[in-house]
Structure 1
Amino acid sequence: MSLPFIFLIISNCFMTLAWYGHLKYLHDAPLWQAILFSWIIALLEYSFMIPATRILDAHGWSLGQMKITQEAMTLIVFVPFMLLLFKQPLKLDYLWAGFCLLGCVYFVFRSQN
């Protein structure tokens, strides 16, 4: 069952790069190049996200459970990306936001009904 989570992490690495990588690597490029760069990377993201959601669906996960889990994975991937690649400062509010997201995970999995 760990395979979908590995796929989600890989997927979120690609998606974070697609969404924000152009700001670092193509900052002065024309908009069309940034869009093309992002869409090519997003295709790789879909190549991992689709199998992950199909596996989770086959194990009986609801759409809400899949989405909240994906959002938690996004935060897990985004914070190191923000700190290491963009050299952004770590703020205590990010920790609180992470706890709120963990609360979302708790509530979406709390009841199986």
Structure 2
Amino acid sequence: MLTILLLVASNIFMTIAWYWHLGKGGLEKPLLTVILISWLIAGVEYCFAVPANRVGFLAGWTPGQLKIAQEAIALTVFGVFMVTVLGEALHWRHFAAFGCIMAGVAFLFVGK
């Protein structure tokens, strides 16, 4: 459970670091400023991602399981960000793509 919570926190910061500037007023900022701000946010992200991977690995997760869980969480976090911050709508394609990723999660976790 701690691994998942750390991965969620990590992905919240990474989604913000990568996409915050696409929202309201962000495109007017100089690119170098956006890059520097994003690096600062991504630094915080690493403070969650690295412990998440270590805790998960020590708890018996494989690197593949850690990665696929991270991807599923990243898509969930991004979906919420896309709708709430960027104002885009979810379509059936988003759900279909998420379903494919969740199938990958199942393949790596089922039977372990």
Amino acid in the other structure paired with 1:48: F
Q: Does the CA-based 8 Å contact 1:82-1:88 persist in structure 2?
A: yes
Higher mean C-alpha deviation, range 24-33 or range 34-43: 24-33
Q: Percent identity, please.
A: 41
Equivalent residue number for residue 2 of structure 2: 3
Distance 2:55 2:79 in 1: 26
TM (normalized to structure 1)? 0.93
**CA-CA distance at 1:45 after TM superposition:** 0.4
Number of residue equivalences: 111
Distance 2:5 2:89 in 1: 27
| Residue 39 in structure 1 maps to residue 50 in structure 2 | no
Partner deviation per Cα, 1:70-110 (whole Å, 9 max, x = no partner)? 00000111101000101101101111111101100011123
Amino acid in the other structure paired with 1:59: A
* Runs of 4+ with >4 A deviation: none
| Residue 55 in structure 1 maps to residue 59 in structure 2 | no
Amino acid in the other structure paired with 2:12: C
Distance 1:3 1:62 in 2: 15
Amino acid in the other structure paired with 1:9: V
SS at match of 2:96: helix
SS at match of 1:27: helix
Q: Does the CA-based 8 Å contact 1:83-1:89 persist in structure 2?
A: yes
TM (normalized to structure 2)? 0.94
Distance 1:64 1:4 in 2: 14
Q: Does the CA-based 8 Å contact 1:22-1:37 persist in structure 2?
A: no
- Alpha-carbon RMSD across the aligned residues, in angstroms, is 1.1
**CA-CA distance at 1:26 after TM superposition:** 2.5
Equivalent residue number for residue 12 of structure 1: 11
Distance 2:60 2:5 in 1: 18
Equivalent residue number for residue 21 of structure 1: 20
Q: Does the CA-based 8 Å contact 1:65-1:105 persist in structure 2?
A: yes
